[in-house]
Amino acid sequence: MRIAVSGASGLIGAAVVEDLRQAGHDVRTLRRANKGTRFTDAVAWSPEESSVDIEALNGVEAVIHLAGHGVAEGSMDAAHKKKIRDSRVLGTRTLISAMKQLHPPPRVFISASASGYYGDRGDNILTEASGPGEGFLSEMVREWEAESSKYDAPGTRTAILRFSIVMDPAGGALERMITPFKLGVGGKLGNGQQWWSWITLDDAVRVIRFALEDERAKGVINATSPNPARNSEIAAALGKILKRPAVMTVPRFVLRFGLGREMADTLLLASQRILPAKLNEWGFVFQHDTIGKCMARMAEKMK
């Protein structure tokens, strides 16, 4: 297939592009550029200018939309929130506007979303049928998904993947956790009882491939392992593979002081016990379905 991928330089995007190319697909990455710029090996786009090189996008059979400014790349002030929102909402709007001009339209549209939709929900078990939570991230994700849902070209199947924490030593939450453990000061965050829903990068890529290839994959889909774990369990498992103690506790007030209350509460202290109900129903098999298998895989990658 000829496939366009946005967010191709990100943690998930780079892995997806490599996987698809190894499988023999013709992958066109969306590359930021000024209006009017042309590339020979990519699709030029500028979400801020609502600009996409339609000619370079023609003939694409699938679009995988993963672009979005990193939530943890700044404090939760108004400017950072605007970057988070605009990169997702306006970026999706720009891409869909371009897709509507394609004849024929792509057969598959896969758009990333996030588990932030659910907010902080304690011990409640959450599936795709669960309602949204509260706060900025939940509101932003709802708006983001609403934009993704606007693409309804006849013959196009749309899948919206709500990714949980993506585990990989090369980036994301796990990369940030490794350094304190190596220094001997790793441990649980807050009381450690908050549920963290997670997925390995390998399985995240496999979920995208599944959504690309399986006709059943449509609508909102939780892209998360079937076994969420408490933060204290994840800290203990990480300490074990790094052969470092996991006895320290980073108090809630320290996290809030260092990161700001909203950032700490949203990204580290919120509790989300999410299950991939649809993937389970369809028989999708996770390679790393427990935190033990996840950490074994992380150990392999860190060798």
Question: pLDDT category, 188, cuts 50, 70, 90?
Answer: very high
Q: Is residue 103, in this structure, part of any structural domain at all?
A: yes
Q: Is residue 234, in this structure, part of any structural domain at all?
A: yes
Q: Is residue 125, in this structure, part of any structural domain at all?
A: yes
Tell me: the pLDDT tens digits for 75-122? 889 999 999 999 999 999 999 999 999 999 999 999 999 999 999 999
Is residue 267 within 8 Å of residue 213, measured between CB atoms?
no
DSSP conformation class of 168: B
pLDDT of 48 reads 85
Q: Is residue 44, in this structure, part of any structural domain at all?
A: yes
What element of type H or E holds 112? Answer: strand 108-114
Question: pLDDT category, 275, cuts 50, 70, 90?
Answer: very high
The total of structural domains in the chain comes to 1
Phi-psi region of 50 (alpha: psi -120 to 50; beta: other; left: phi over 0): left
Tell me the torsion sign for CA atoms 6, 270, 195, 122: negative
pLDDT of 37 reads 77
| Alpha carbons 189 and 236: distance in angstroms, whole number | 12
Q: Is residue 289, in this structure, part of any structural domain at all?
A: yes
Cβ partners under 8 Å of residue 98, min gap 6: 45, 52, 54, 57
Q: Is residue 108, in this structure, part of any structural domain at all?
A: yes
Tell me: the pLDDT tens digits for 46-87? 988 889 999 999 999 999 999 999 998 878 899 999 999 999
Domain span at residue 230 reads: 2-297
DSSP conformation class of 269: I
Tell me: the pLDDT tens digits for 130-139? 999 999 999 9
pLDDT of 173 reads 85
**CATH code of 227's domain:** 3.40.50.720
Q: Is the pLDDT of residue 185 over 90?
A: no
Q: Is residue 303, in this structure, part of any structural domain at all?
A: no
Q: Is residue 302, in this structure, part of any structural domain at all?
A: no
Q: Rounded to 5 degrees, what are φ and ψ at 184?
A: 85, 15
Select the more confidently predicted residue: 175 or 17. 17
